[in-house]
Amino acid sequence: MNTETLLEVRGLKKHFPLSRGRLIRAVDDVSFRVKPREILGIVGESGCGKSTLGRLILRLVEPTAGQVFFKGEDITALDRHRLSSIRRAMQMVFQNPFGSFNPKLRIAWALMEVCRYYGMSREQGSERIAALFSDIGLSGDLLNRWPQELSGGQLQRLAITRALLSDPALLVADEPVSALDVSVQAQLLNLLSDLRKSRNLTMLFISHDMTVVEYLCDRVAVMYLGQVVETAPATELFGNTRHPYTRSLIAAVPRLDTVEARDRPAPKGEMPKAAEELPGCPFAPRCPSAQSRCLRERPPVKEIAPEHLVRCFLVS
C-alpha cells in the first residue's frame, strides 16, 4: 500500500435486507483513498448512504462486502481486541449535539469518564482536557455545567473535544454543522480546519451541503444511491464539474448574487429508495442527458484529469 494513504476503502458494500428478499443497497461498491492530513468531503442528498459509509469505516456496522484499510491494516478482518485499540485512532462526531451528552452528567464527568476509559489517570485526564479546551477555545467554567445549559455550538465543540481525547489520526464528522445556525457553522468549520493543522488530523467530512463542502474540503466524493459518481479535488470539482448529478447539486445551491438561481430546483424528482438493483447508472432515471445505454449498463469509472474520477458514459 502507498505510504501516502491513511485510509483506503475498497469495494465497500452494505446491503440491508427488506421483506421478501429485497435489499436496500445503502453503500454499493465504494472505493477511495484518503491521504494523511487531508479533508475528504462526502456529499449527496439525504438517504444516499453517507452515514452508513462513515459507520462502515469505523466498523460500527459490518460490511456486506469490501475492505477498509487503516494505516495499511484491514480493519474488516480484525478481532474485537485489536479493533478496540484501533478505534482510539478513529473517532466520529455526529450531527445532533443535543443528544450527544448524558443529561445526568456534568461536562467534567462526561469527559473524565472517556479519559478513564482510555486508561488515563485523573491528572493525565485533566491535563488532556485543559489542553484541548485551550486549542478549541472553550472556557474552563463549562466543565461544571450540565449539557442542557449549553448551546448547540458549545455542545458540538465539546463533542469534538471528546472525540479528540484519544488523540485520533482520523475524524469522521457526520453532518457536524448541519444542526447549527449559519454563523455558528462558520466558526465550527474554521475550528475543524485549524485542528487539522494543529493536530495533524485527517478527516472524512460528511455533509449534504455543497457550500460547506466547498469551503472546507480538499477533495470531494459525490454519492448517489450508494455509489460515488464523481471524485475530484474541491477546486476541480467545482470548477470543472462533469457528472450531471454533481451539476444539478451545484445548480441547486442558493447564491446570494443571483436572485433567479435561488429558486432553481434541486435535481428533478426524488432520489428513489435504494431498493432495487438498477442495471444501469443509478442517476439515469433523473438525468437530463440520459441515453438508452445509461439505463441498461452501469458506467465504468473514468479518470478524466489527475485525481478526477467520473462514473458516467457521457463524459470523456
Contact indicator for 94, 174 with CB cutoff of 8 Å: yes
Q: E-strand spans in 119-277?
A: 170-174, 202-207, 219-224, 227-233
Tell me the closest approach of the beta carbon of residue 201 to ligand ADP, in angstroms: 22
Verify binding: residue 177, ligand ADP, rule CB under 6 A. no
Q: Give whichever of 70 and 94 is closer to ligand ADP, judged by the CB atom.
A: 94
Among 6, 40, 41, 49, binds ligand ADP (CB under 6 A): 49
Crossing angle of helices 107-117 and 152-164, rounded to 10°: 20
Verify binding: residue 148, ligand ADP, rule CB under 6 A. no
C-alpha–C-alpha distance, residues 53 and 221, integer Å: 12
| Residues within the interface to Mg ion (CB under 5 A) | 51
Among 2, 3, 19, 46, binds ligand ADP (CB under 6 A): 46
Among 41-49, 137-145, 155-163, 279-287, the segment contacting ligand ADP (CB under 6 A): 41-49
C-alpha cell recorded at residue 265: 430546483
Interface with ligand ADP in residues 234-293 (CB under 6 A): 273-274
C-alpha–C-alpha distance, residues 277 and 179, integer Å: 33
Among 41, 47, 147, 168, binds ligand ADP (CB under 6 A): 47
Contact indicator for 23, 15 with CB cutoff of 8 Å: yes
| Binding track over 4-33 against ligand ADP, x by CB under 6 A | ------------x-------x-x-------
Residue 296: how many CA atoms within 13 Å on its side-chain side?
3
Contact indicator for 186, 211 with CB cutoff of 8 Å: no
Tell me the closest approach of the beta carbon of residue 116 to ligand ADP, in angstroms: 31
User: How many residues does the structure list for the chain?
Assistant: 316
Q: Render 236-300 in DSSP notation, one character per residue.
A: HHHHS--SHHHHHHHHTS--SS-HHHHT--SSSS-PPPTTSPPSS-TTGGG-TT--HHHHHSPPP
Tell me the closest approach of the beta carbon of residue 92 to ligand ADP, in angstroms: 13
Phi, psi of 117, rounded to the nearest 5 degrees: -60, -35
Among 46-54, 137-145, 157-165, 241-249, the segment contacting ligand ADP (CB under 6 A): 46-54
Tell me the closest approach of the beta carbon of residue 204 to Mg ion, in angstroms: 13
Q: Give whichever of 47 and 147 is closer to ligand ADP, judged by the CB atom.
A: 47
Verify binding: residue 52, ligand ADP, rule CB under 6 A. yes
Tell me the closest approach of the beta carbon of residue 165 to Mg ion, in angstroms: 24
Distance linking the first and last C-alpha atoms of the chain: 29
Tell me the closest approach of the beta carbon of residue 9 to Mg ion, in angstroms: 17
Verify binding: residue 66, ligand ADP, rule CB under 6 A. no
Tell me the closest approach of the beta carbon of residue 243 to ligand ADP, in angstroms: 17
Interface with ligand ADP in residues 91-120 (CB under 6 A): none
C-alpha–C-alpha distance, residues 202 and 208, integer Å: 20
Residues binding ligand ADP (CB under 6 A): 16, 24, 26, 44, 46-52, 273-274
